Amino acid sequence: ETGVTQTPRHLVMGMTNKKSLKCEQHLGHNAMYWYKQSAKKPLELMFVYSLEERVENNSVPSRFSPECPNSSHLFLHLHTLQPEDSALYLCASSQVKGLHEQYFGPGTRLTVT
Amino acid sequence: DAKTTQPTSMDCAEGRAANLPCNHSTISGNEYVYWYRQIHSQGPQYIIHGLKNNETNEMASLIITEDRKSSTLILPHATLRDTAVYYCIVMTGFQKLVFGTGTRLLVSP
């Protein structure tokens, strides 16, 4: 247990669906991150939040919409996804933004049909 | 970021020490060496990091050469649960965490 939980663990959705991924950290950290891990590709940083403010968006398509209502919760809202968006989506947190001791959740395995 | 070079895969017998090398010949003076691992179907796990001195924690030891051009992560008594992909990452304090392809360590009985 890393202190970072993600739900759901698995998700199958059609291209016209809207769904949300949830992440919660119980570590008292101030920074949270969304990463994408596609098959046989390195981890890709998507979004960074620091003190509930989005501080980084790495050219992620608008069909991915993050939300950070407080420092413990992070959401990734999904709509009109493409099959190539199928991947493992990982949430992480760190004490402060940029600190590289990041604690990762178990991920949500997303399949877009 | 400085580039790192790691072997694609390594094998280790259970109970023996696993020594995972990493070359980072272009590392600059303010860059740290970080190690993470990712067990199959789980999120990455922070292991250890260092700048110049050798470091040890409850998970592993990190040996950095004097010229800082290479390092070795040591798991002193490998177990089957240590089977994972191990990533060596070199960066300054506030760069993005960028994972390469890592070393796939297989610990066998």
Q: How many CB contacts within 8 angstroms connect chain A with chain B?
A: 51
| Chain A contacts to B (CB-CB under 8 A) | 2, 4, 42-43, 45, 88, 90-92, 97-107, 109
- Return the H-helix or E-strand segment holding B63: strand B61-64
Residues 37 to 56 of B: which have CB under 8 A from any A CB? 41-46, 49
Distance CA B86, CA B45 (A): 9
Lowest mean pLDDT among A18-27, A96-105, B7-16: A96-105
* B7 in A contact zone (CB under 8 Å): no
pLDDT at position B91 is 81
Among B70, B65, B32, B87, which residue's Cα sits nearest to residue A100? B32
Whether the predicted pLDDT of A19 surpasses 80: yes
Does any CB of chain A come closer than 8 Å to the CB of residue B92? no
C-alpha–C-alpha distance, residues B38 and B86, integer Å: 7
d(Cα A22, Cα A27) in Å, to the nearest integer? Answer: 16
The separation between CA B24 and the C-alpha centre of its own chain, rounded to angstroms, equals: 12
Q: Which residues pair with B33 in a beta bridge?
A: B50, B90
Amino acid found at B40: H
Q: Which residues of chain B have pLDDT under 50?
A: none
Q: Is the peptide bond before A8 cis (omega within 30 degrees of 0)?
A: yes
Which of A97, A99, A104 comes nearest B44 by C-beta? A104
The pLDDT assigned to B93 comes to 61
Tens digits of per-residue pLDDT, A64-97? 999 999 989 999 999 999 999 999 999 999 987 6
